[in-house]
Structure 1
Amino acid sequence: MKIHLHQQIRIMTTKYLFIATLFSTLTFAQSQQDSLKQIEQVNILVKKKLLERKADRLIFNVDASIASQGMDAGETLANVPMLKVDENMGTISIIGKSNVNVMINGKMLNLSGMALLNYLKSIRSENISKIEVITTPPSKYEAQGNSGLINIILKKNPNLGFSGNISTGLTQRTYFNGYTNGTLNYQTEKFSLSLKTNYIKGAKRSNERFNIIGQSQNYSESTRKDMWEDLTPSLNASYKINKNSEVGIEYIFDNGKNGMNILNTTKNISPELDETNFITNTFHREKSPTHTLSTYYDLKLDSLGKKLSLTGNFYRNDNPTEVNFSTLTLPQNTIQDVKTLSKIKPQIFSIQGDLELPFSFGTIETGVKYNQFRNSADLKYLTLEDNQYIIDEEKGSQFLYKEENYAAYASFAKTFGEHWETKAGLRYENTLVKSSVKDFTYGQWFPSAYISYKQEKNVFSLSYSRRINRPNMSNLNPFRWYSNPNSYSTGNPLLTPSYINNYELGYTYNNKLSASIYYLRLKNAFGQVSSLDLVSQTGTYLNYYNNSFYGANLSYTDSFFKFWETSFSMNSSYQTSEVFNIEADTFDGYSVSYSWNNTFFLNKNKTVAVFLNYEHQLPYRNVAYHFKNFMEMSSGIKISLMEKQLQINATVNNIFAMRYKADIYFRDSQQSFNNYWDGRAFRLSVNYTFGNKKKQIQKKAINFEEKDRAQ
């Protein structure tokens, strides 16, 4: 009986233990489920933080923008407040400022123009964590340009293996355009490899009208077919030597081929009212094989974040160009056949070292950089006489240019409690220039300072930076681009840099509203100036004006009714100017522009959406220019399939087919232009990501900021 009783007690005890364990497990599971729900709720709240303002930048969190999902990086940038992406012109700019440089994970992309936009098509918005807009770049970055910086931060991903991406698209303007991108990535714990090929081929029709009315009158109209074909394979590889050091290399080969067929008609009326007409057919063919090689070495000095980075870059472009044009002159009824042969060879080499030192009292950043820029240009001008081309020595040119730049910088950043964040830096650049025309040396200091204050939903920031804008090769090269035997444009090797001071006060509320006021002072600025000497129309670059801008930016992004996401941006400014080296009437005036982007979701899963975007630049005056009204509307649909691995987008841009117009007022003439660059376009793109979508490789893009000056 005792044994039986003990067995019953053991069985009952086991049952109670099982029930208790089961209850405990269920309770724990429910607790875990509740915790997961809480985490999901927290994540939802986090995702609502669309905008963040730091001391030196505005941050756009891509995951918080539903309208940015299922897009490529270029389309995503267009959703960022105060950014403008113009695929027709091949530019990315900050509204109210000039074009920007684009970085990936803090390192400059070695691409610009259409090549940059084509590259961005291969990056999906799902792989982007955030986008930083830096309107006043700190001292760590090159002082070159007033453009500001865009930093695309990709999501970190520890997963290993293969992944890939294939995208293709077409654009129908006047002519058909197409592109194809392919990417294959492979990553192990130590080694990563990315192979990418971009191919683009297309054409567009442009119409440009330019008039000069003075002592003589000149009316010119060009109808142009621009053609391009570009194959760009690239290789990016990195290897982790150990847990503290990594080495990497990137090589890009751009095998570009461009061409233009141009019909130009020019009517010239002399002071005696004699009329001469020129009808010129031009055939322009150009090859532009480009090599870019970049390497880096990163070394973590300790577990606290101290880091040493070494980077080297090399760029070379051999650019042979042949231009043939035939001009019929009326009423003389004569024909002149001319050919120009040019070879332009820009070459850039740079090396730099950066040291990041976080301490308990603040973070110190310091570094040095050396950059060498070389260019040789040789232009031959030939006229056809007795069925044989004869070189005209007077109209040809040769130009040699060498520039060396030595730079050093240091900055200090510190946070005070939960509310204050500060950063200040100083950069010095010394430049030596030797050319066929002039040798000179100049050195300049470039300070920067930032401070921000955060209190609950309110963030205030104040920033200042000084910048320099050096002329690029198209500005400096005395190469003559002829539209007919009497009209040409040329660069000016005597150009000197311009300098910019930026002051900006920013404010962000509730991570949705962003506002700023700014003052920008531009001194010794340069641009192209046209003149008319009887029948000869010439254009050249001059340092000729100073500018002051007092401006304000405002943007607001929000979601309504669970199916509508909208973003509104506005820029307004008041500008004053003065001119030198030319005789012109200057204008002080106001500028106002705004844009309104809307995305409407058609299903509950938000995989089908239509969008309608509108932007408007009101008429404004600046220096001697009076710019006319310009507005643009675009609309389209995007569809996500196969758990967002397949993306289909269709868009119509510039529905109203607007033209760019302006009048220019000089003391001795009034000039005007009226241009249309085939802006109305239908675009269809398809993107497919294969492999595990969580295996996207995160590669390091290497800093090479000088490359744009080779253009």
Structure 2
Amino acid sequence: MKTSSSFIAAFVLLCSNVIAQSPSKGKITGDVKESATKPLPFATVLLLNAKDSTLAKGAISSESGTYEFENISLGRYLISATMVGFQKSFSAPFELKEGQLSLKVPSLIVAENTQTLQEVKVVSKKPFVEQQVDRMVVNVENNIGSAGGTALEVLEKAPGVTIDRQNDRLQFKGRQGVMVMIDGKLQQISMQDLMNMLQSMPSDNVEKIELISNPPAKYDAAGNTGLINIVLKKNKNFGTNGNYTLGAGYGRYEKLNGSLGLNYRNAKYNAFGNVSVFHGRFKNTQDIDRTIAFQDQVTYMDQNSPRVGNPQNVSFRGGVDFFVTKKTTIGVLATGFLNQFKMNGVSRTDFRDKNQTLTSRFETDTYNHNRLDNYTANVNLKHDLGKGRELTADADYSVFNGNSGNDLRTTYFSPSDEITSKDVFRNIMPSNIQIAGAKIDYIHPLKKGKIETGAKSSFVNTDNDMRFETQVDNVWTLDPTRSNQFIYKENINAAYLNYSTSLNKKTQVQLGFRTEHTHSQGNSVTLNNVVDRNYVNLFPSVFVSRSLDTNNVLNVSYSRRIDRPNYRNLNPFQFFLDPYTFQQGNPNLRPQFTNSFQITHVFKGAFSTSLGYSRINDVIADQIPKQIASENKTYVTTENLDHQDSYNLTFSIPVTVKKWWTMQNNISAFYNRYRSFYYGADLDLGQFGATVFMTNNFTLPKGYTAELSGFWNSPTQYNLLQAKAQGQISAGFAKSLWNRKASLRVNVNDIFFLNRFAGTVKYQDLNFKIYSRWESRQVRVSFTYRFGNQNVKAARQRSTSTDDIRNRANSGQN
């Protein structure tokens, strides 16, 4: 074999003198920096063909910011580099040629400023979905199909994300427990309030969505499935500028949205602010068919509930960054929202016996009203100590004021449709959540590596006063047996240490360690019951990245995380939807703990394959159904199940079909298995599932672009609920106007009206089916105009000290 190889080599060398010289290969090296002296590790570095900006090869910068491309054909290229929190930057074009087969590119500075290329026009743009070293990023800003919609609809399109509108649940890679951040701030409100808020937030406010499966120790330990960070748009220019967006949509009812952003920056300070509004109406229809067996009787309950919802939202964000010195910035920030959600409808339920004979029926007029206002103030400091050392500090205070409730008027009928009785009651729950916190973070570069450390403390005080009242002769009377005041107090103190280094030229390692002390007290005042918990937990994390060659990178990570019960689920109140259906809290809920492992392979900085496994102990399972068979009543609550095993496999496949046609394909397969002793029996439920997402982008002549996208979620298991498949197909187009200062977008969401929810529960004596449809098919139009100086630098992105706490305030309210 060796002799044969030598012969071939000699033959080729001989022929080259007669025919032509063989194509040579070369090597390109360089480094990426955050500033003139500070390297930028783990940046995504792409080698682009200078002619048309198409991808030649990709790499990840080392701990010291260096990169290397081997076996490169001769030609003219340029380098691009990007990383989360930085603008994409480009080198000047250069040429790899004979006589210079080893070329070192000058250092590429990656900063917040967008660098303009003078010699080459970059025709590529950010793909809708891109895989980075530690996260997947969904670039919403330039996506046609997202224009004029809501943040919830955009999130539903994110690869691996599943939205259960029926039960206000959010899953990532087939698992619940994901924490949602907005601009790095965890939203501490109930899951229903979070869903309502995202339903009311215009998608035109969203720049991108970051999906982080295994966050490092710097992040709070909450979130067993990982973190979803929704990054809102900010001005990126110098001087004074702004933008406004107007949007309208229609499905069954109207949807209107608008936003205004302003930014001013000079040498001493940067002032910024934006406000957005949303108004809409939508229809939701829900059917529940129950089979209830009790002793020798069987009762069939068929329920139909059409409802019309009306979300309204005003959100705002404003602040000032003062540049005290070149190295010190002090900022103040105020954010908040006013969210109101109303829904009314008529629920009709038929009772039938085992022979399917109608025995009675009832109709319930429902009026659901939810109001939640949030005001947050933040003071922050960023100081550059020199030589790559950096100190940041935050202190903030946040208040949530809410009031939610249901008014129910029920009329009972005989089989012959005669009125037999009436029942009128309501439940009201005013709530107040106060959150205070502070944190400090420090970065210290070493000769070989970097240390990050910090500490944080937060205090929470919640007060929920649930009142259940009945009406007799037009007089409302409090029912103390179904009312309860619940006061919850919590203090969390945390500290972390991260160390990252390069073991060699191709291997980077990050080790993290976080400890959290939690003291909580839940006081059911009316029931005279106090649950006091005091515990300390340790949360290690490991991240290893290995560059196998210039095209292949392998990442391996492990982390341990915690999820604490949200405040509303701890309150043992009963929240009624109709006389036979209600929700109940559980003051005895325990935190759940997750150990997660993940291995990711990235090819050419674009194609990725990820394999993950997690074990969750004391699973916090929400919307668990229970039944009082003797009274034909069904209710849902939140319980701790023993454990859940979850496996997931994810593929990210970008494809350039033509220069004018690109595709992004994401496929996630997962298997979830729940095991516990629950409801008087051994529970052992497992289910394979998958999600598929595809988007096609078309660049057309004369400034037009178009998009065709769709997703499909396979049947899967939500705790006891077996859910059927969901999916939709959407399309849209956009036109740039007035020298790219304005854009007009039109899209149709769920063209074939396929997106719906259907599920079945069959466990012990539980036997029911759920079917739900909503106004998923919509036509939307959005217009955006940018004015002023378009070279103003953006306001700083930063997280505050109470991000994680605010998210739990959002998880579970009704």
- TM-score, normalised to structure 2, is 0.75
**Residues 248-259 of structure 1: pairs in structure 2 closer than 5 A:** 248-259=331-342
**1:271 offset after TM fit, Å?**
7.7
State yes or no: 1:671 paired with 2:768: yes
Match of 1:513 in 2: 607
Secondary structure of residue in 1 paired with 2:685 = coil
- Specify whether residues 676 and 583 from structure 1 end up closer, same or farther in structure 2 by C-alpha distance, changes over 3 A only: farther
Equivalences for residues 154-169 of structure 1 within 5 A: 160-169=238-247
Match of 1:425 in 2: 512
Quickly say closer, same or farther: Cα 1:69–1:360, change in 2 above 3 A.
farther
Question: In the alignment, residue 378 of structure 2 is paired with which amino acid?
Answer: S
Pairing partner for 1:194 from 268, 272, 276 = 272
Matched, 1:339 2:339: no
CA distance in 2, matches of 1:572, 1:337: 48
Deviation string, structure 1 residues 39-97 (Cα, Å, up to 9, x no partner): 7788859979995643x44567899x998999999699779973659798999864444
1:587-631 deviation per Cα after TM superposition (whole angstroms, max 9, x unaligned): 32321221111112221x6x2122111211222346533221222
CA distance in 2, matches of 1:73, 1:276: 41
The correspondence for 1:702, drawn from 793, 799, 807, is 799
Structure holding more helix per residue: 1
Residue 444 and residue 619 in structure 1: after superposition, are their counterparts in 2 closer, same or farther (change >3 A)?
Answer: same
| Compared CA separation, residues 93 and 166, structure 1 to 2 (3 A) | farther
Distance 1:36 1:137, change over 3 A: closer
**Mean Cα displacement is larger for which, 383-392 or 448-457?**
383-392
Deviations 1:518-558 (A, max 9, x none): 11112211222222322322222111252112221001112
> Where does residue 569 of structure 2 map in the other structure?
475
Correspondences of 1:135-214 after superposition (within 5 Å): 135-150=213-228, 160-214=238-292
2:540 aligned residue (438, 447, 456): 447
Q: 1:80-95 alignment to 2 at 5 Å? A: 82=159, 84=161, 94-95=172-173
2:75 maps to none
Q: Structure 2 vs 1, CA of residues 671 and 78 (structure 1 numbering), >3 Å: closer, same or farther?
A: closer
Q: Are positions 1:307 and 2:387 aligned together?
A: no
SS in 1 for 2:281: strand
Contact conserved, 1:209 with 1:675, CA < 8 A, in 2?
yes
- CA distances 1:448-493 after superposition (whole Å, capped 9, x unpaired): 1000111211011000111111121232222322122343212212
Looking at structure 2, the residues matched to 626 and 213 of structure 1 have their Cα atoms a distance apart, in angstroms, of 16
Task: Report the residue type matching 2:240 in the other structure.
Answer: F
2:627 to 509, 532, 542: 532
Deviation (angstroms), 1:199 = 0.9
Give the structure 2 partner of residue 484 of structure 1.
578
Structure 1 residue aligned with 2:315: 232
CA contact (8 A) 1:498 1:523 kept: yes
- 1:117 shift after superposition: 7.3
* 1:598 equivalent in structure 2: 696
8 Å contact from structure 2 (residues 237, 790) kept in 1: no
Q: Secondary structure at the match of 2:569?
A: helix
1:648 aligns with 2:732: no
**Counterparts in 2 of 1:35-434, with a 5 A limit?**
38=94, 44=122, 51=130, 53-54=132-133, 56-58=134-136, 82=159, 84=161, 94-98=172-176, 99-102=178-181, 104=183, 112-113=194-195, 115=197, 121=203, 133-150=211-228, 160-215=238-293, 216-269=299-352, 275-302=359-386, 304-331=387-414, 333-434=420-521
Q: Tell me the CA shift for residue 176 of structure 1.
A: 0.6
- Distance change in 2, residues 1:685/1:83 (3 Å): farther
Per the TM alignment, residue 659 of structure 1 is displaced from its structure 2 partner at its CA by: 1.6
Contact 1:299-1:309 at 8 Å conserved across structures = yes
> For 1:544-583, what aligned pairs fall within 5 Å after superposition?
544-583=641-680
Alpha-carbon distance between aligned partners in 1 of 2:660 and 2:581, rounded to the nearest angstrom: 56
- 2-structure distance, mates of 1:262, 1:72: 24
Q: How far does the alpha carbon of each residue in 1:546-598 deviate from its partner, in whole angstroms, 9 at most, with x for none?
A: 21122210011122221111011111122322122324653323212211111
| CA contact 1:422–1:450 (8 Å) conserved in 2 | yes
Counterpart code for 2:539: F
Q: Distance in 1 between matches of 2:188 and 2:533?
A: 29
Aligned to 1:691: 788
- Deviation of 1:636 after TM superposition, in Å, equals 1.2
Q: How far apart are residue 396 of structure 1 and its match? A: 1.3
More deviation, 194-203/654-663: 654-663
Bigger shift: residues 407-416 or 579-588: 579-588
The one-character-per-residue Cα deviations of 1:297-337 (angstroms, maximum 9, x if unpaired) are 111122x2211111122221221345322100122621112
C-alpha distance in 1 between matches for 2:268 and 2:136:
33
Flag the 1:92–1:264 CA change in 2: closer, same or farther, 3 A.
closer
Identity %: 23
More divergent stretch after superposition (189-198 vs 210-219): 210-219
Q: Secondary structure at the match of 1:706?
A: helix
Return closer, same or farther for 1:596/1:159 CA change in 2, 3 Å cut-off.
closer
Equivalent residues in 2 for 1:5-20, closer than 5 Å: none
Whole-Å separation in 2 of the counterparts to 1:395 and 1:73: 37
One-letter code of the match for 1:602? Answer: L
> Are residues 100 and 555 of structure 1, via their aligned partners in 2, closer, same or farther at CA, if it must alter by over 3 Å?
farther
Quick one: distance in 2 between partners of 1:287 and 1:69? 26
Determine if contact 1:144/1:469 at 8 Å carries over to the other structure: yes
Given that 1:155 and 1:698 are in contact with CA atoms closer than 8 Å, whether structure 2 keeps it comes out as no
Size of the aligned set, in residue pairs, is 670
Say whether the 8 Å CA contact 2:361–2:412 is kept in structure 1: yes
SS at match of 1:707: helix
Q: Secondary structure at the match of 2:805?
A: helix
Q: SS state of the match for residue 242, structure 2? A: strand
What letter is aligned with 1:706?
I
Is there any run of 5+ residues in structure 1 with no aligned partner, and where? Answer: 1-33
Distance 1:337 1:576, change over 3 A: closer
Scaled by the length of structure 1, the TM-score of the pair is 0.86
Q: Which moved more, 1:530-539 or 1:554-563?
A: 530-539
Counterpart amino acid of residue 601 in structure 1: T
1:626 equivalent in structure 2: 722
Compute the RMSD of aligned alpha carbons. 3.5
Distance 1:177 1:259, change over 3 A: same
Task: Give the C-alpha shift of residue 163 in structure 1.
Answer: 0.8
Residues 83, 92 of structure 1: 8 Å contact kept: no
* Amino acid in the other structure paired with 1:690: F
**1:560 aligns to what SS in structure 2?**
strand
8 Å Cα contact 1:191/1:240 also seen in 2: yes
AA aligned to 1:691 is G
Change (3 A) 1:677 1:497: farther
Aligned partners of 2:647, 2:667: CA distance in 1, in Å? 14
CA deviations over 1:88-132 (Å, ceiling 9, x no partner): 89998644444453454x66688954645766745576xx8xx75
Q: Distance in 1 between matches of 2:170 and 2:578?
A: 33
2:752 maps to amino acid? F
Output the CA distance in 2 between the equivalents of 1:123 and 1:562.
Answer: 29
Structure 2, unmatched stretches of 5+, are 1-77, 79-90, 95-116, 294-298, 524-528
Q: 1:299 to 1:425 in 2, by over 3 A?
A: same
The answer to which of 557-566 and 475-484 deviates more is 475-484
Cα-to-partner distance string for 1:229-258 (whole Å, 9 max, x where unaligned): 222233221111111211111112322222
